[in-house]
């Protein structure tokens, strides 16, 4: 067996409490569930990855339970005994046999990159081409639905120097009330902060035409996925008429989606998410398509914990231009974590470590407490 062969793969479902309910158009999160992936290699190196989605199956085609089952039953047999140091070959092996499942693939790719970085003494960002910055500005989502509470929360974040970019989750309520809510917050914050909205596909095109004009006229900087991802011609029309730029999020479920959206002119900003593209390397392919087409970039999140957040950050800090910054605030939404040291948020930015791999270590006691099954589930060669 190769010295760097994959010896075992373990998937662990971890349930962590959040600081408050987090409202989206299609779901309200009461806690966050992570799928932790541990890839152990014959040379003693262990790589850590994370696959996290939102709201079970409310958001997309994968859930924590399906991610775990598919990795255990379908991914692991393809990877056990393979060379963990050849990330490209390992991921191509998965691509040839497994369709979709980008969240699961992202967690596996992250674990392999973490292992190789530790093996070579390099940060994951260096494996991805090399960082061009050490920190990333981070947005905060105001999702209580209460205007006064959201304004107070934004003011607190500004005072703490933690965030000066705010995104509002709207679409679940009556449109006029949602618009009034957003406009009131923008008026309260003024030029001290950027205010954006995420509609999570909740509007039809006729509503979106009016709403986008009102939002743009009232200083809203960005409108994320206002209509269904399936209405691509509608996205093209909205992108042409909206005074505020339109960002594609749910519309991008693969690198191929990014190419088609760019070709059609359906959005002027792309949200980059490693989970929806299939990993840190895959999301950089989407970024390259956007840059070639003159489309701006935004570093998105699936509200991952520290592992998935750092995996995204290592990819994003290799990008020359990230005009709309990032929303890598997932760990800040949690009241508990499974890392020995928390991520560093300071002066409105997330600071990315230079240490080998992702630059984190697990707190084994906390992991044991929060894991759903309480027992080892490592898959070994037969």
* Catalytic residue IDs: 169, 327
127-351 shares the fold of 5-121:
no
Question: Cβ atoms within 10 A of the Cβ of 187, count?
Answer: 12
Report domain extents, the chain.
5-121, 127-351
Query: How many CA atoms within 13 Å lie on the side-chain side of 191?
Result: 0
State the DSSP code for 71. Answer: I
* b/e per residue 257-287 (b: at least 16 CB within 10 A): bbbebbeeebbbbbbbbbbbbbbbbbbbbbb
Q: How far apart are CA 122 and CA 83, in angstroms?
A: 18
> What six digits make up the tokens of 370?
């929060």
Note down pLDDT in tens along the chain; length 382 residues: 699 999 999 999 999 999 866 565 555 667 899 999 999 999 999 999 999 998 677 777 899 999 999 999 999 999 999 999 999 999 999 999 999 999 999 999 999 999 999 999 999 999 999 999 999 999 999 988 899 999 999 999 999 999 999 999 999 889 999 999 999 999 999 999 999 999 999 999 999 999 999 999 999 999 999 999 999 999 999 999 999 999 999 999 999 999 999 999 999 999 999 999 999 999 999 999 999 999 999 999 999 999 999 999 999 999 999 999 999 999 999 999 999 999 999 999 999 999 999 999 999 999 999 999 976 666 676 5
What ranges in 60-192 are assigned the alpha helix state H? 64-70, 76-79, 87-97, 102-120, 124-127, 147-159, 175-189
Task: Tell me if the domain spanning 5-121 has CATH number 3.30.70.270.
Answer: no
Question: What's the pTM value of the predicted model, to 2 decimals?
Answer: 0.94
Q: How far is CA 180 from the centre of its chain?
A: 28
Q: Is 264:231 a contact under the CB 8 Å cutoff?
A: no
Report the length, in residues, of the chain: 382
Closest CA to 221 of 253, 248, 246: 246
The whole-angstrom separation of Cα 88 and Cα 184 is 49
* Total Cβ atoms within 10 A of residue 48: 24
Q: Which two tokens stand for residue 130?
A: 């090399």
CATH number of 127-351: 3.20.20.120
Which residue has tokens 């969240």? 103
Sheet holding 246-248, edge to edge: 140-142, 165-169, 194-198, 223-224, 246-248, 269-272, 296-299
17 CB contacts (<8 Å, ≥6 apart)? 31, 334, 335, 336
């Amino acid at each position: 067996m190769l010295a760097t062969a994959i010896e075992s793969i373990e998937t662990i479902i971890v349930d962590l409490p959040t600081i408050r309910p987090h409202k989206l158009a299609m779901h309200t999160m009461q806690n966050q569930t992570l799928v932790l992936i541990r890839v152990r290699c014959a040379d003693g190196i262990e790589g850590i990855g994370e696959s996290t989605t939102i709201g079970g199956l409310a958001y997309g085609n994968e859930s924590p339970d399906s991610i775990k089952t598919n990795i255990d039953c379908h991914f692991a047999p393809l990877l056990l005994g393979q060379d963990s140091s050849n990330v490209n070959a390992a991921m191509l092996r998965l691509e040839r046999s497994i369709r979709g499942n980008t969240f699961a693939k992202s967690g596996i790719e992250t674990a392999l990159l973490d292992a190789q970085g530790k093996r070579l003494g390099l940060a994951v960002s260096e494996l991805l081409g090399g960082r061009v910055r050490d920190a990333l500005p981070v947005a905060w989502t105001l999702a209580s639905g209460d205007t006064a509470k959201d304004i107070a929360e934004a003011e607190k974040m500004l005072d703490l120097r933690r965030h000066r970019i705010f995104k509002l989750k709207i679409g679940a309520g009556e449109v006029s009330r949602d618009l009034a809510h957003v406009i009131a917050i923008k008026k309260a914050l003024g030029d001290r902060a950027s205010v954006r909205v995420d509609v999570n596909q909740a509007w039809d095109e006729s509503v979106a035409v009016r709403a986008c004009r009102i939002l743009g006229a009232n200083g809203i900087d960005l409108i994320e996925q206002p209509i269904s991802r399936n209405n691509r011609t509608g996205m093209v029309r909205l992108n042409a008429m909206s005074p505020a730029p339109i960002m594609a999020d749910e519309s991008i479920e693969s690198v191929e989606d990014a190419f088609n959206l760019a070709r059609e002119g359906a959005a002027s900003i792309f949200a980059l998410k490693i989970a929806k593209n299939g990993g840190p390397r895959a999301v950089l392919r989407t970024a390259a398509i956007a840059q070639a087409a003159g489309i701006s970039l935004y570093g998105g999140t699936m509200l991952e914990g520290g592992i998935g957040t750092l995996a995204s950050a290592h990819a994003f800090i290799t990008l020359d231009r990230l005009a709309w910054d990032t929303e890598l605030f997932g760990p800040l939404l949690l009241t508990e974590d499974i890392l020995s040291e928390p991520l560093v948020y300071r002066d409105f930015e997330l600071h990315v470590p230079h240490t080998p791999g992702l630059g984190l270590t697990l707190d084994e006691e906390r992991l044991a407490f929060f894991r759903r099954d309480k027992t080892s589930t490592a898959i070994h060669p037969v």
